[in-house]
Structure 1
Amino acid sequence: MQQQGEEVLIASTLIIGIIVVFLIILFTVFQRRKNQLLREKATEKKRFEREIAETQIEIREETLRNISWELHDNIGQLLTLAKIQLQNATPESLDDISETITKSLNEIRSLSKLINPEFIKNIALKDALQLEVERFNRLQFIKASLHISGEEKELNQKHGIILFRILQEFFSNTIKHARGSKLEVYLQFQSNQLTIKAIDDGVGFNMEEIQQKGIGLENMKTRAKLINADINLESKPNLGTELNIYYYF
């Protein structure tokens, strides 16, 4: 009887020991997995912050290029015209001179919004796009329009910067290469999604070729993935190009 009791005690001790060891192993595995996830999350956060910083620099560089161009070619021409008008001024031409100077001042005011160092950091996506559309129309680059539908929702500020940079790349390609006459941008707000569509009527391109050597397209997709967004670019020769971005709240 005593022997049976000892055997039960030994068996119980072994079972408890096995359970304890199993729990220790399970806890160790869990802790390692938890630490790995924390490290991955920290790495992903650093990568995201680095991407935001790089994107802000790219937007700032693009903005400064635009400002430089407008100062030299647009405002410079207006001021030169005003100077010529003043040199040949007559009482009848004062209204024309005043109009030229007023136009120059309005152009400078438009640029002053972009020069503000807080502009890139704080501006909302809708406002940034509106400024771009106004600039394209003002400088007669292309006939551009912005259409907004649905109940507007506030976007994550950093996500808005990424979205604006993706669209800015599309706009740059449209202006420089598409040779189109019209650019339309749509923001459609839904309960859990923002759909952004940008369409030009330019010369288009072969999608297979751009996918083989299109670094710009890969950059767009990589950035979209960072903010849980999907992106789709469609184009055909002589039928224009369409960019669709699906951002999920």
Structure 2
Amino acid sequence: MNNKKLIIIRYFILATLIFSIVGYKENVDVYTVISVLIFIINNQIRFFIFKDKKYIIFISLMLEWIVSYFCYKNYGGLVFSYMCIGIIDGVFLLKGKLSYISIGLAMLTTGLMSRNLNINEITLNVASLITLAILSNYVKDKNDRLIKTEELYDKLRISEEQLRKANSELEIYTNSIKELAILRERNRISREIHDSVGHSLSTIIIQLGAIEKIAQEDGNMASDMAKNLSGFAKDGLNEIRTALRELKPREFEKYESIIAIEDLTKEFSKLTGVDVKLGFTKEKWPLNGGQSFVVYRIVQEFLSNSVRHGKATKVNIFMNFNEDDLILTLKDNGQGADNLEKGMGLTNIYERVNELGGQVDYDTQKDKGFLLRVVLKLDKSLVF
């Protein structure tokens, strides 16, 4: 039962109590008003101020039984209206033994208040209050189960959202690693062909040049053959170089900075045992020399500080290449701090980024890790 319904019930019962006293007592004096006010004030303070403090609630209920007995004895009214709110509060605001004790004392007080009534009225009052207590306990039990169900649902929903987020991050990370692996392999093949085949053909050209000189002493035909062979070898070398340029991905420049950072994070993880995840968006654009150097140094500084100062065990790095900016986000799960003073590392990051016309923001709280966000502008001369 929600608070709004309880409040309506309370005010209705209080109104019934007041009207029953006024109807029973022809001349309402100041003592009657004071007694009723004490009853109402105690009742309201208990519900609105001390509703989470069980021992104060129990004391308040004991006071209410005493005031109820005094008011009924001197001013009359309906027994049920005196005890009704206390019964409800004893069930809803108390738990365990205190709840049962308060209800038992309420029944005892009801018996004392009803001792001058006939047996039918006594039975009706006691039975009504017992029924009220049972119904209140039933409603409270249903309400508690509903709250627990809602809490469980909220936890499941939060867990599902966290799982989706983790799955999305893992997918991005996996795709990033896959792209890097493909590019690394293509670059390795390109380098191997250049180093082996290119070197062999270059040697052939040199040797043919020597043969050409020697053949000039023995005959022009040998010299012509050597020239032709040399030209053929040169043409073959040019074709291989053309093929290598085509094989090597044109967008490799976009990945050079990312590959350098990946090498840094892998080496850092091996040395420290910190779990470092690097991710980036599908769309990328190349960084100039200054930007590449600054990004590398920022990652290096952040990783070092995460372990040395933050005692972090996990670090997430994400490079978001949008239309005009690179947004570099670095987050660890370290100790964090409520009041952070800029040290040499953070000062160097600010200075380097400012020199490139970028922006730096950070956020940290005690036991909530450290978040660093760097924004660098696109160098359009590298794209257009």
TM-score by length of 1: 0.48
Q: Comparing both chains, which one has the higher relative contact order based on Cα–Cα distances under 8 Å and sequence gaps of 6 or more? A: 1
Q: TM-score, normalised by structure 2?
A: 0.34
Structure ID, larger Rg:
2
